[in-house]
Every structure is written in structure tokens, then in C-alpha cells.
Structure 1
Amino acid sequence: MTEVPAAPAAKVVPALRNPRPPQQQQVQDEFDAFYRREMPRVTVFLVNLGASVYEAADAAHEAFLTLLPDKWRSLDHPGAWLRTVAYRKYLRQAMARTQPIDPVPDRPGGTCPVDLVLLTEQQRSVLDALGQLPPAEREAMAWKLDGFTHEQTAQALGKSPAAVRQAYTRARQRLITTLGLKKEAESGE
């Protein structure tokens, strides 16, 4: 009987992780930076529109889920798009339930965006005053507080710049009166 030589032992090669191509990694890195910058801002924006901090964080997170890394770069104004979608998500969740049932979502890195929204007493007073505004005025003021121009706001909301400007002017006047800033505004000008 002839002996059959044993097959050579297979070389054990460690499994290599398939790294992302450099271009795809760059897109992901840019999206992560966009997320870190915009998540707290969108949360505050929604709070200015009347959401609780938890509702705002939840709606902002849901909006980000629809804005995948591949999609956000194709938008002309991803910040405005994100705020519009987040506001719609907030309105839907407010109509669907009265108490949040899910925990507040975490950001990459394990920190919650709610931690970044700490309000001073003055900010709470402003939020209370914002809550007394009619919806169109509150909406115009929230967009302005978030740094958008009247033209950008009008484009995002599908309104005329004149309508947004008028709502903002009325909101500003009501806030000055409500917060008792009339004398300060007159003496400061």
C-alpha cells in the first residue's frame, strides 16, 4: 500500500475588514460632522416651535434617519430640508400620542442631544412668550432665531418672503411687549 502524502496545511489568513473606499469614507465623515453640528440646532429649533426637549430630540432624530449620507449631499439646502422634515415629524408624533413611549435617541458616540439643550431662566421666559404667539408668527420667529433669512424661510415653507417678513415683524413686536422689553428697546435705539 502506498502512502498518500497528506495535503499541505491550509494557511490561516486573518480575515481582513473591508475598509470603505476613501471617497465613501469622506462622505460619511462629512455627514457625521453635519449631524454633530445640526442635531442640537434642529432640536432647539423644534423647542422654539413648541416641542418639549424630548419630543424635539425624537423628531430631529427621525428626520436624520430619512437623510441618509448619500441623500444629504444632493440637496441644495440640507439644513432647511432637515428642519422642515423634523417639524412635520414633530407634528405627526404630537397628534399620534400624548406621552413619549420611546427613550430619547442617542447620537453617535453615546451622548444624547437633550444634554446639549440646557435652558437658562431667560431662555425659558422667551420660550413661554414664543408659546403665546400665533402659529405663523412662531414659525417665522423660530426660523429667524435659527439663522435663516426671510427668503430662505419662505422658500422652505412655500410662502412669500413678504408673508414671512410680516409674520416675523408681528412676532417680534408681540415678544417685545410680552417680555417687557419695550422700554429697553426704545432706550437702546
Structure 2
Amino acid sequence: MTDLPAPPAAQTAGLALPAIGVSRQPDHREFNRLYRSEMGRVTVFLLNLGASPYEAADAAHEAFLTLLPDKWRDLEYPGAWLRTVAYRKYLAQTVQRALPTDPVPDRPGGTCPMELVLLTEEQNDVLEALRLLTPAERHAVVWKMDGFTHEETARATDKDPAAVRQAYARGRKRLISILVLRKGDDSGE
């Protein structure tokens, strides 16, 4: 094999030439780690806010798509950002499906988000009880269930931390009373 002469310096000034044999593909291991750690959690977060399993999975995937190609590297709080964007994507789905015109197609390949998110009977009871809370209470409780502080929730949702704390306290109290009543009904009391 013959060596090619180097191009004149004037032609390559300011250009970054890739080294031969070195891949220019970005390293996506960190993104994959973020995806694996947050995808199921964001999906459950949306389920807790009232989405169906398919709606939750679609909205969570759409939120992750907005992170590509490199936006995810610049986020200070990717978990909160993903939940906020996924919730907005879910709400957009709700508006779009208000007037269905086409039949829902079968999902190809047997893919089902429920394979990734399996809920226990207790979790299903909590989901049903969450649906009985007001939207503000539900949001505060679900963000807290997902491990966020009231201050983080307030920052992510553009609300006052005191309002988030108050909604959480009311929601938690109502949630407990709903679940206690249901447990009493189930045991035959």
C-alpha cells in the first residue's frame, strides 16, 4: 500500500481530521445508563398521574427522544426534566386522542410496556386511590413518591414550595384515608 502525501497545510487549517481507525461515534454509555435507570421510573410516574400503560410508555419514550442527540449532557436535573417533559407529552396525547378517527393498530412484535412495568395488587390499589385526588394533590404525592423533595418538585413544576407542601399534606391524608377505607371494605368490616 502506498502512502498518500499529506494535504497542504493551507487546505487543512482549521479542520479537525479524524484519525484513521478511530470511531467518531459519541460514547452513549452514559445515556444508556440514564435510560435504563429512568425509563421505568418515568413510566410509573405517569401511571401514577393517571396515564394508561401505553400512554405512559409512549410519553416517556417521547421525552427521551427530546434528549437526543446531546441535550441530555447539559441537564442539571435530568430526572425532574424527564418527568416534566413526559407529563407534557402525555397531556398532548390526551388532546390528540380527543377525536379518534382511525382504528388503533395492533402493536407489532408483541411489544408491550407492561412487560417492563409489572404492578402488584397493592400498587394497583394505590393507582386507583391516586386517581381520586385532585390534580395538585396527585402531582405533589407522585413527585414525592418518586423521591423528589418539595423544593425540587416546586422548581420542576414552577410552583411555590409552600403550595407543594400543602398539596402533599392534603393528598397524603386523603390517600391514606382512601386506602384504609378500601382495606376495611376488602376485609369485610
Unaligned runs of 5+ in 2: 1-19, 184-189
Provide the residue aligned with 1:162 in structure 2. 162
2:53–2:113 Cα contact (<8 Å) kept: no
| Match status 1:79 vs 2:79 | yes
Distance 1:168 1:62, change over 3 A: same
Aligned equivalents of 1:19, 1:94: Cα separation in 2:
46
One-letter amino acid matched to 1:119: L
Q: CA 1:105 to 1:63, structure 2 compared with 1: closer, same or farther past 3 Å? A: farther
1-side partners of 2:87 and 2:70: how far apart? 22
SS of 1:84's equivalent in the other structure is helix
1:106-151 CA-partner distances (Å, limit 9, x unpaired): 9xxx975431211111111110000000000001111111111101
Q: What is the DSSP-based 3-state SS (H/G/I as helix, E as strand, rest coil) of the residue aligned with 2:180?
A: coil
Structure 1, 145-154 or 66-75: larger mean CA deviation:
66-75
Q: Deviations over 1:28-67 (max 9, x none)?
A: 1100110011110000000000001110000000111101
2: distance between equivalents of 1:136 and 1:47? 16
Are the counterparts in 1 of residues 62 and 89 from structure 2 also a CA contact under 8 Å? Answer: yes
| Match of residue 57 from structure 2 | 57
Task: Kindly report structure 1 stretches of 4+ aligned residues shifted beyond 6 Å.
Answer: 102-106
* Residue pair 1:54, 1:104 contacting (<8 A) in 2 also: no
**Using a 3 Å threshold, how does the CA distance of structure 1 residues 61 and 178 change in structure 2: closer, same or farther?**
same
Which residue pairs with 1:36 in the alignment?
Answer: 36
Letter of the 2:150 counterpart: H
Contact in 1 for aligned 2:51/2:90 (Cα 8 Å):
yes
**Structure 2 length-normalised TM:** 0.76
Answer with 1 or 2: which has the greater Rg: 1
Asked if 1:20 is matched to 2:23, the reply is yes
Q: What is aligned with 2:120?
A: 120
Question: How many angstroms apart in 2 are the aligned matches of 1:38 and 1:64?
Answer: 10
Structure 1 residues 70-110: Cα deviation after superposition (integer angstroms, max 9, x where no partner): 1111011111111100000000101111579466699xxx9
Taking structure 1 as reference, are residues 62 and 130 closer, same or farther at Cα in structure 2, changes over 3 Å only? same
Two-structure CA RMSD over aligned residues (Å): 2.8
> How far apart, in 2, do the equivalents of 1:30 and 1:20 lie?
17
- CA drift of 1:175 comes to 0.6
Higher mean displacement: 91-100 or 142-151:
91-100
The answer as to whether partners of 1:43 and 1:60 remain within 8 angstroms in 2 is: yes
Conserved in 2, the CA contact under 8 Å of 1:137 and 1:171? yes
Deviation at 1:18, TM superposition (A): 6.5
- Structure 1, unmatched stretches of 5+, are 1-16, 184-189
